[in-house]
Amino acid sequence: MIPVLIMMLLALVSPSIEMSALDDSETPQTTSGRQGSLDVDCSGYTFEDLFEYDFALFTLDINDDWATGVMDAKAWVNGSKSAIVRDNLDELFDGVPGGNDDWISTDEREAVRQIGPQCIADMETRLGIREGPSHRGNVDWNDLEFVEDGIALDEVNLVPSGHQQERSCSSPLSDAGCKEVPVTITDDLEIHLLIAENQNNNVRFDQLPNQGSSNFTLAMNITNITDAQLVMTFPVEQGLRVADMGFFDDGVVNEDLATPVSEFLPDGRLRIVADVDYPIGSYPMVRNLFVDFTTMAPFTNDDPVWSSTAPDEGTIIPVGTSNGETIAAENAGMWVIDESGWSLQCSFTDTGWDIRMDENAALYVTANGASAVGQCAGVDAFGAETVEHRNYTFGNVMDASAVLSSNGETIEFTPSSTGIVGSLTVMAHAHQMTKMGPGATAVADSAGVMMELSMSGLSPGDVMIMGTATANGMLDYNFMLDLGIEKMNKPPTITIDTNLQGEEADWELDGLKFTLNGNVIDPDGQSVSMTLSICNGQTSNFNRDNLAWEIQVSIANCIQSNIESPYSVVIEATDESGATTSLTIDVINPNAGGSNTVVDDSTEEEASGSILPAPGFIATLLIGLVAAGWVSSRRN
């Protein structure tokens, strides 16, 4: 079915609105994003023409080559607008079995995902760049265009799984497992435009001759973008900054709109964040955003200065490895103060050592040995440095090993100091994604110290060791260690309660049902499922209240199968990890006399039972009438 839908989509897609990157009077450059033999023509479309959304987030990262980039678009569609999107997509398949029938199917969704990148390759990005002094209006812009091979499409909840109105697809050509829902449903959905797997760009433009080292202007046509945020990030370029920016309506600056924000990231890149909107009903007014860039130094530029939170001269900065790159500080962004943005730069006399900061101000260190001293300074976007350069020692401060205790309940964790500091105060605990065991604290020197870490409250499976090591003159060393520790699973335990007569089964007066109750406990705190088997039938119809359980059991299946008392009842409890415990009880029919016998593994316990009067002729007839069904369980 999907290939048929794709071929129909090829024939049906057509342009609806012609919009260039800047305004209606300008001529956009011809795109060459369409590739392959399929002929899909979406020229003139914009993202907003296909999807009416409530809010969208557009991010654009320009690559270091100043010729390609990565665009990511996420659109959130809520309530009645989601029904409009579903209806629009369903209409694309008019004439195809199952298409344009007011039902949106998983087949239609997959067809849109497959053919969508070719359509988007023809669409307008609305963005253009031009080198030279600031530009406004009708000029020959270097338009960004989409690259088909780099585009991926995804969605969330377009065809909600398990929806109450979901049904199997009605078309006989539908794929196996195809599901569909009415286009009128108003469940919220999301539309995502992403970078395709193993690709490094999904937009491109004519490479800037000076690669950002001289003045240029970026423009975006935001006409009909009712509510969105644009985040653009540019490569590291010495001195690159924003000289001017603003919104223009029909060529006239609109000073009532909030000016976009520019910031320097700790990794040296420049980022622009703009909240963009277009008043509904304002068309054909054209609204553009213009951002002028320059590398000319500002008239004044103060040197960066160390803040009070920066490490002092001679501080030891822990590194969790002796070879390769690892994170050394989660947030070093407050170490230096500067209005023009800054990054930490260090020079090492030892070869193979280096540092870098990412856009979130995390400090990464590349190690090549046990330790090294780096001379460090804060450097801003225009090359100004902190007057004081500080020497920091980077090194691996702690070694560690771990084994399970003999009973498997605790981890025997042994940290030791590598000698960069004399001793470490270590606080640690056993850790899983959302669970942690009790903490322990010890002082470790070069000889090491064994710490017992309880795994109480953790689930069976892999266990990490998380903690912090501290010492005078050293930044805290926060660690998460995978030392191959695994918590073994223990099966649940089952108990059955007895009544005042010492019997496990409480019979109904009609002699056709009995009730069992008891407790089930899992030592690892996992949820437990339960089943009961009797006379070749099985049920899971347990009433559960925390650890307690109760079940009413019918003997109708036993009567139908001519199985005589005592009845062998098997109760099984299975935890989330698949460990199962089985308990067997022989239940005596009170009309036949005898007692109930419980068998748990190899242990058997007997309890005396009481005898009820034998059923008369009418009771026997009733038994025959219900023999065909078992109200408390189902047959295998």
User: Higher confidence at residue 636 or residue 117?
Assistant: 117
Tell me the two tokens of residue 570: 């098997």
DSSP, collapsed to helix, strand or coil, labels residue 611 as coil
Q: What is the pLDDT of residue 634?
A: 31
The DSSP secondary-structure symbol of 11 reads: H
Ranges of beta strands (E only) in 132-282 are 142-146, 151-156, 167-168, 179-182, 189-195, 203-204, 216-221, 228-234, 241-249, 252-253, 261-264, 270-276
Using DSSP bridges, classify how beta strands 363-368 and 354-357 pair: parallel, antiparallel or unpaired: antiparallel
Listed by start position, the domains of the chain span 2-27+55-292, 305-395, 404-456+463-479, 493-635
pLDDT digits (tens, 9 = 90+) for 352-361: 999 999 988 9
Model confidence at 8: pLDDT above 50: no
Check: CB of residue 525 under 8 Å from CB of residue 489. no
Tell me the two tokens of residue 208: 């800037």
CATH architecture, range 493-635: Sandwich (2.60)
- The mean pLDDT of 458-479, rounded to a whole number, is 95
Q: What is the pLDDT of residue 509?
A: 86
User: Higher confidence at residue 375 or residue 89?
Assistant: 375
CATH architecture, range 305-395: Sandwich (2.60)
Model confidence at 596: pLDDT above 70: no
Burial 395-409 (b: 16+ CB within 10 A, else e): bbbbebebebeeeee
pLDDT level of residue 380 (50, 70, 90 thresholds):
confident
Model confidence at 571: pLDDT above 80: yes
Q: What is the pLDDT of residue 2?
A: 44
DSSP, collapsed to helix, strand or coil, labels residue 52 as coil
- Please state, in angstroms and rounded to a whole number, the distance separating the CA atoms of residues 251 and 354: 49
Nearest to residue 370, comparing CAs of 447, 428, 481, 446?
446
Q: What is the pLDDT of residue 351?
A: 95
| Fold equal for 305-395 and 493-635 | yes
Tell me the two tokens of residue 326: 């690892």
pLDDT level of residue 266 (50, 70, 90 thresholds):
confident
pLDDT digits (tens, 9 = 90+) for 94-150: 777 778 899 999 998 998 888 888 888 888 888 999 998 888 877 788 999 999 999
Model confidence at 602: pLDDT above 60: no
Nearest to residue 464, comparing CAs of 473, 453, 472?
453
Q: Is the pTM of this model over 0.85?
A: no
pLDDT level of residue 591 (50, 70, 90 thresholds):
confident
DSSP lists the bridge partners of residue 474 as 316
Tell me the two tokens of residue 73: 């678009």
pLDDT digits (tens, 9 = 90+) for 185-227: 999 999 999 999 999 999 999 998 888 888 999 999 999 898 9
Q: What is the pLDDT of residue 173?
A: 83
DSSP lists the bridge partners of residue 429 as 466
**Single-letter residue type at 7:** M
Q: Mean of the per-residue pLDDT values for the chain?
A: 84
How far apart, in Å, are the Cα atoms of 607 and each of 493, 500, 502, 582, 597?
21, 11, 6, 20, 6
Check: CB of residue 343 under 8 Å from CB of residue 325. no
User: Higher confidence at residue 97 or residue 77?
Assistant: 77
Q: What is the pLDDT of residue 609?
A: 31
Check: CB of residue 518 under 8 Å from CB of residue 494. yes
- The mean pLDDT of 244-270, rounded to a whole number, is 90
The backbone torsions φ and ψ at residue 294, rounded to the nearest 5 degrees and listed phi first, read -150, 160
pLDDT digits (tens, 9 = 90+) for 422-442: 999 999 999 998 899 999 999
Q: What is the pLDDT of residue 502?
A: 85
Q: What is the pLDDT of residue 301?
A: 80
Handedness of CA 23, 26, 29, 34 (dihedral sign): positive
